[in-house]
Amino acid sequence: METTSAEVFNGQTTEAGNHASSGSSLLNSPFAQHELSQTDAVPGPDLELEVSLESPFTDSYLFGDSEALDSQALEMLISELEDEEFTEALEALAEEAASRYMTSPASWNHELGVPVLDPTDAEQWVEAIGERADQLLAELEQRFIDRSVESVTDEELDEALEMAFPELEQFGDPLDVQDLFFGKLKKKLKKIARGAKNIVKKGIKLASKVLPLGIIYRRLRPIIKPLLKKVLASAIGRLPRSLREPARQLAQKYGLKPASEFETEFEYFATEFDMSIAGALTDPDPQATERLESEAAFEASEIAAESNIAEELDIARERLVQQLLEAEPDQPPLAAMEQFIPLAILPIVKTGISLIGRTKVVNFIAGLLARLIQPVVGRQLAKPLSVQIADKGLSLLKLEAEGEGERLGAEAIAAAVEETVSEIFSMPDELLENELYVEAAVQDAFHRSAARHIPGAFLRREIVDPESEKMRGVWVMMPRNTSPIYRYKKYSRVLPLRLTREMAREVVFSDGETLEERLIDGGETAWPVDVEVEAYDLLPLANLGHLASFETDGEYLPSHEAALEFDVLEEAGELPLPPDSERSPSRGRKRPLIRVRARGRRLRRKSPVSVRMDLSGSQPAVRLHVWVGERRAHAMSEQLQKQQHREVISSFKAITGPPMRRVVAKRLRSMFTRRNMSRDEATLFNLTNQVFDGLVAALSKQLPTMAVSLATAAKDPAVGLTVTAVFAFESQDAIGKGSLGSPTLTVRPGKHRD
């Protein structure tokens, strides 16, 4: 008998007919072969008519403080512009640019005696995208050159954007990365017009400064190219620059925070871009466009002049490897350490860490590390160490001991040193001044790093358990075919595991999705499931594009798609990880990236939840979007056809459990911080639980009347469906305080995060 997807989803194989009854539903007993029947008292529809009333009076007459109103309007505008999909598009561009850079031909730098990569292909690719974006904005500028923002209807703007953003087939390969970016840019341009209209409608002092729509689009032209140059700089190894001066001044003027400690590099770029848009939109100076162009040219020259820190690290690592090979056996390579450490800490120092008495600290730590590695320097010991590493990684990494010579051993020592240096210099300044503390910390950190990179045969018994040595791998610098230019490490063993459904439910990824959900969406229908886990570590200033382009097993995939196979765990459950992998960030080390495969299937990140704080309407609101994958959506549709409403709600509760809630609480914290809205951790977690519980409660109440829309969305060709709950508040200050009212629910096919 064929099993339906709903039955597989519920872990049951009883006949579908046994589960359906008119006017009743069944409680599923946790005990095998037994069912408890109960009349289902589903509440009838209890619909409330919501009428949105809009005052005819402008805000300037309702409230007296014009400066406060201007600040609030700017905050609402930036909230309107905020778009995580645009941020993801920037990240996808960076991943493709990184892949192009890493696969470009290397040339020999005779002065330094090492190979270096040519960034020309990546630069020309990003430059072409910038030129096309500029052309599109120029078309919109001419169309709306003298039109006030309030005179342009939504329909007219949609038509203009459709004409300006045609099919992008002429852009070359790969199409989808550029399509993704231009699609999100199109959405951003609509948000800009809508945000400008909202300011004008308020009738406040700031509204008089809002420019015609064509002028606004003109002023975006010199802003967007620097944004793309920063994305390129990130992709090829330059560090992100601080906020541009106009954006910083705007933030200070209106008391806004353009970036927070919780943001990623690309969130920082996107927020900076939004701040620049806000400044360009409301600057009455007729010379502002020329000033923006001048600033953009200056900024572009500064970015171009920035040194490639990743390339400097490549050179420093290679120099250290050669120095370790040429060092006198059993002699501390002090000079090599003193030369390497200042370069190894560049990514840390350049991102804001102030090192008091840095030269003294560097020399002290160099002396400690030189003594720790002196037993394994020189070619005589490097060769047997290389053989041991090659033996551990031969089948997976395709390493040849003969071809690698002594390099693998010296590279392992250099990698352990670099990891130790990164951990130590991530400590607070006051600890770095304490020599006794630093000495103990260096020894502990180097012992852990040595255990990660060096086979147990070369380590003391108290560092590596001899009993586990046969099952243990080591971390190896990658990719091998670009040696000595490396961007990530890979663990030399594939880690297998047979997963029950309960075990898969305990594994949580960075976006709040569980491994159970990912396996179901990947096509798994039977449990237990045999999976294989591969582990990776990105080196400083690397991104997933550097890794993904070399880990596709010979299959062509656009870099941003291949990158979706790699993720970070929030909770590992019983999933195997390499020894000494951090299951939570500590000691300055990040969690490893992992890739999980089940029966050869590729499992990819889905980002199943999104939250937005919408300050642009008559009432501020929190919008929660929960995406339901294709297989689970079809299972819910079948359950609804059988009137198994309780099972649908149980399924939705399983999706919106603690893992997803922790992700949303973290994002809310970032949003509140960025908007200078103070809320403590308890308040944020309470708000998170309230919005999720409110969503599930509203869905439970309205499910009988929403069954048709849910089933229709599930059958739509778009992948999965999105349930959106909108919670309205009386004021911005009320968000997170007190209890919530009932949300407005919508169900749409596909994924939505607007």
- Amino acid identity of residue 310, one-letter, is A
Q: 342: cis peptide before it, omega within 30°? A: no
Check whether residue 68 and residue 197 sit in a common domain: yes
Locate 449 and state its tokens: 């790093």
Task: Give 620-678 pLDDT, tens digit per residue.
Answer: 899 999 999 888 898 898 998 898 999 999 989 988 999 899 989 988 988 887 777 88
Tell me how far apart the alpha carbons of residues 660 and 354 are, in angstroms, rounded to a whole number. Answer: 36
Check whether residue 160 and residue 264 sit in a common domain: yes
- Amino acid identity of residue 138, one-letter, is A
Locate 510 and state its tokens: 């960075």
Q: List the single range of 267-276, 292-301, 373-382 with lowest mean pLDDT.
A: 292-301
Q: List the single range of 135-149, 387-401, 422-436, 498-512 with lowest mean pLDDT.
A: 387-401
- How many structural domains is the chain composed of? 4
Of 566, 585, 602, the one marking the end of a domain is 602
pTM, rounded to two decimals:
0.84
Locate 445 and state its tokens: 């950190």
Strand partners, 206: none
Strand partners, 749: 721
With 50 as the cut, is the pLDDT of residue 718 above it? Answer: yes
More confident site: 354 or 282? 282
With 60 as the cut, is the pLDDT of residue 33 above it? Answer: no
Considering the domain boundaries, does residue 754 fall inside one? Answer: no
| Secondary structure (DSSP) of 429-457 | HHHHT-HHHHHHHHHHHHHHHHHHHS-GG
Check whether residue 185 and residue 65 sit in a common domain: yes
Tell me how far apart the alpha carbons of residues 33 and 47 are, in angstroms, rounded to a whole number. Answer: 39
Considering the domain boundaries, does residue 481 fall inside one? Answer: no
Check whether residue 294 and residue 278 sit in a common domain: yes
More confident site: 213 or 291? 213
Task: Give 539-583 pLDDT, tens digit per residue.
Answer: 988 999 999 989 987 777 888 889 999 999 988 999 988 877 654
Considering the domain boundaries, does residue 596 fall inside one? Answer: yes
Own/partner pairs, 578-584, CB within 8 angstroms, 24+ separation = 578/452, 578/473, 578/475, 578/491, 578/493, 578/495, 578/535, 579/451, 579/452, 579/468, 579/472, 580/448, 580/451, 580/452, 581/535
Nearest residue to 96 (alpha-carbon basis) of 123, 64, 61 = 123
Q: Any idea what DSSP says for residue 565?
A: G
Tell me how far apart the alpha carbons of residues 705 and 748 are, in angstroms, rounded to a whole number. Answer: 15
Check whether residue 460 and residue 346 sit in a common domain: yes
Of 264, 286, 306, the one marking the end of a domain is 306
Check whether residue 358 and residue 318 sit in a common domain: yes
pLDDT of residue 246: 46
Check whether residue 80 and residue 145 sit in a common domain: yes
* Exposed e or buried b per residue across 544-583, where buried means at least 16 C-beta atoms within 10 angstroms of its C-beta: bbbbbbbbeeeeebbbbbbbbbbbebbbbbebbbbeebee
Q: List the single range of 311-320, 376-385, 440-449 with lowest mean pLDDT.
A: 376-385
With 80 as the cut, is the pLDDT of residue 86 above it? Answer: yes
Check whether residue 195 and residue 83 sit in a common domain: yes
Question: Residues 653, 657, 663, CA angle at the centre, nearest 5°?
Answer: 135
Check whether residue 513 and residue 635 sit in a common domain: no
With 90 as the cut, is the pLDDT of residue 739 above it? Answer: no
Q: 479: cis peptide before it, omega within 30°? A: yes
Asked whether the beta carbons of 499 and 554 are under 8 A apart, the reply is: no
Q: How many CA atoms lie within 13 A of 93 on its CB side?
A: 33
Asked whether the beta carbons of 487 and 94 are under 8 A apart, the reply is: no
Strand partners, 292: none
Considering the domain boundaries, does residue 486 fall inside one? Answer: no
Rg (alpha carbons) of the chain, rounded to whole number? 28
Tell me how far apart the alpha carbons of residues 679 and 665 are, in angstroms, rounded to a whole number. Answer: 11
Q: In the structure, what pLDDT confidence band is assigned to residue 449 with cuts at 50, 70 and 90?
A: very high
With 70 as the cut, is the pLDDT of residue 524 above it? Answer: yes
Of 240, 275, 306, the one marking the end of a domain is 306
Considering the domain boundaries, does residue 324 fall inside one? Answer: yes
Check whether residue 385 and residue 419 sit in a common domain: yes
Locate 494 and state its tokens: 């594939």
Tell me how far apart the alpha carbons of residues 638 and 643 are, in angstroms, rounded to a whole number. Answer: 9
Considering the domain boundaries, does residue 54 fall inside one? Answer: no
Q: In the structure, what pLDDT confidence band is assigned to residue 41 with cuts at 50, 70 and 90?
A: very low
Asked whether the beta carbons of 185 and 256 are under 8 A apart, the reply is: no
| Secondary structure (DSSP) of 18-31 | GG-BTTEEEEEPSS
Check whether residue 226 and residue 354 sit in a common domain: no
Nearest residue to 593 (alpha-carbon basis) of 652, 539, 517 = 539
Check whether residue 387 and residue 324 sit in a common domain: yes
Average pLDDT of every residue of the chain: 81
Considering the domain boundaries, does residue 55 fall inside one? Answer: no
With 50 as the cut, is the pLDDT of residue 603 above it? Answer: yes
pLDDT of residue 429: 81
Range of the domain at 348: 310-473
Which residues, in sequence order, are CB contacts of 92 under 8 Å at separation 6+? 177, 180, 181, 559, 560, 563
Tell me how far apart the alpha carbons of residues 729 and 737 are, in angstroms, rounded to a whole number. Answer: 10
Which residues, in sequence order, are CB contacts of 409 under 8 Å at separation 6+? 376, 381, 382, 383, 384, 385, 386, 388, 389
Task: Give 226-274 pLDDT, tens digit per residue.
Answer: 899 989 998 998 765 543 444 555 555 555 555 454 467 888 888 888 8
Considering the domain boundaries, does residue 50 fall inside one? Answer: no
Distances (CA, A) of 24 to 17, 175, 357, 358, 646: 13, 51, 75, 73, 10
Distances (CA, A) of 597 to 473, 605, 631: 19, 13, 18
Distances (CA, A) of 687 to 20, 250, 703, 729, 740: 37, 30, 24, 12, 9
Q: Any idea what DSSP says for residue 395?
A: H
Tell me how far apart the alpha carbons of residues 586 and 604 are, in angstroms, rounded to a whole number. Answer: 26
Q: Report percent pLDDT > 70 for the chain.
A: 82
- Amino acid identity of residue 100, one-letter, is R
Q: How many CA atoms lie within 13 A of 55 on its CB side?
A: 11
Q: In the structure, what pLDDT confidence band is assigned to residue 65 with cuts at 50, 70 and 90?
A: low
More confident site: 218 or 307? 218
Tell me how far apart the alpha carbons of residues 16 and 3 are, in angstroms, rounded to a whole number. Answer: 9
Q: In the structure, what pLDDT confidence band is assigned to residue 295 with cuts at 50, 70 and 90?
A: confident
Asked whether the beta carbons of 411 and 477 are under 8 A apart, the reply is: yes
With 70 as the cut, is the pLDDT of residue 169 above it? Answer: no
